[in-house]
């Protein structure tokens, strides 16, 4: 009886742990692509140019035996804001050749091996898809949070995602910072090691969810 009770407690603890980890990062709502925002040019418009060196994208992928993480650079972009009605538009271009692996020392063979794998056709197919893009379709307030929606294009495939962000303006800059969020990579045809696509992977699968955290810093034009 004591043995059974111990096993039950262990299972509850493990389940709670997995639930807690899952709740830490919110999965982005994914829908079909939508028309991008067009700011009325007759309004009073503020234009901000993205500053790549002050912007960043952090990524993380997980599997049963651990995780890998790193960064991707933002190549360019703009943010437009109507000071009349607060409508926000804009887009960013992501340089997929800039993927960096940070959990493995750069001088180790494993770093180059993983980086090559991420860039080949198993994952982002960077040779044929050197950039990804995010184009704003809506920014609304919901339950006290700013929810940013936009068309995310990876490998030529576009879906609309919605994520919670903070938006800050100064006299000369605009900053959009996302909370950590995940997307289901298989929706962008990134299927390698996915147990939702392939059978008999055992513990060799890779999570379908990729975690991102984005900071976009832009300077007034």
With cut-offs at 50, 70 and 90, classify the pLDDT of residue 5: very low
Give the CA angle between residues 11, 12, 18 to the nearest 5°.
90
Q: Are 96 and 71 in contact (CB under 8 A)?
A: no
Per the listing, tokens 């991008």 go with 36
Among 19-28, 58-67, 78-87, 161-170, the range scoring the smallest mean pLDDT is 19-28
Burial 87-125 (b: 16+ CB within 10 A, else e): bbbbbbbbbbebbebeebeeeeeebeebbeebbeeebbb
Question: What's the pLDDT tens digit per position in 68-81?
Answer: 999 999 999 999 99
With cut-offs at 50, 70 and 90, classify the pLDDT of residue 43: confident
What are the domain boundaries of the chain?
A: 28-220
pTM of the entire structure? 0.87
Q: What is the pLDDT of residue 63?
A: 92
Pick the CATH number of 28-220 from 3.30.300.30, 3.60.130.10, 1.10.510.10, 2.40.128.110: 2.40.128.110
Question: What's the pLDDT tens digit per position in 190-218?
Answer: 999 999 888 888 888 999 999 999 999 99
């Amino acid at each position: 009886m004591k043995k059974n009770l111990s096993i039950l407690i262990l299972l509850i603890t493990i389940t709670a742990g997995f639930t807690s980890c899952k709740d830490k990062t919110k999965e982005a709502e994914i829908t079909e692509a939508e028309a991008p925002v067009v700011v009325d040019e007759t309004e009073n418009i503020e234009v901000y140019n993205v500053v790549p060196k002050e912007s960043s994208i952090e990524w993380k992928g997980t599997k049963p035996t651990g995780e890998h993480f790193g960064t991707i650079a933002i190549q360019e972009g703009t943010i437009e804001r109507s000071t009349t009605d607060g409508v926000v538009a804009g887009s960013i271009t992501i340089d997929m050749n800039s993927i960096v692996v940070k959990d493995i020392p750069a001088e180790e063979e494993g770093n180059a091996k993983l980086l090559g794998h991420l860039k080949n056709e198993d994952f982002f197919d960077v040779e044929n898809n050197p950039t990804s893009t995010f184009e704003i379709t809506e920014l609304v307030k919901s339950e006290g949070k700013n929810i940013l929606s936009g068309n995310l294009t990876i490998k030529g495939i576009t879906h609309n995602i919605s994520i919670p962000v903070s938006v800050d303006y100064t006299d000369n800059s605009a900053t959009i910072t996302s909370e950590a969020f995940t997307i289901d990579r298989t929706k962008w045809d990134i299927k390698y090691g996915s147990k939702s696509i392939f059978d008999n992977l055992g513990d060799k699968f890779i999570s379908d969810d990729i975690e991102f955290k984005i900071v976009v810093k832009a300077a007034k034009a």
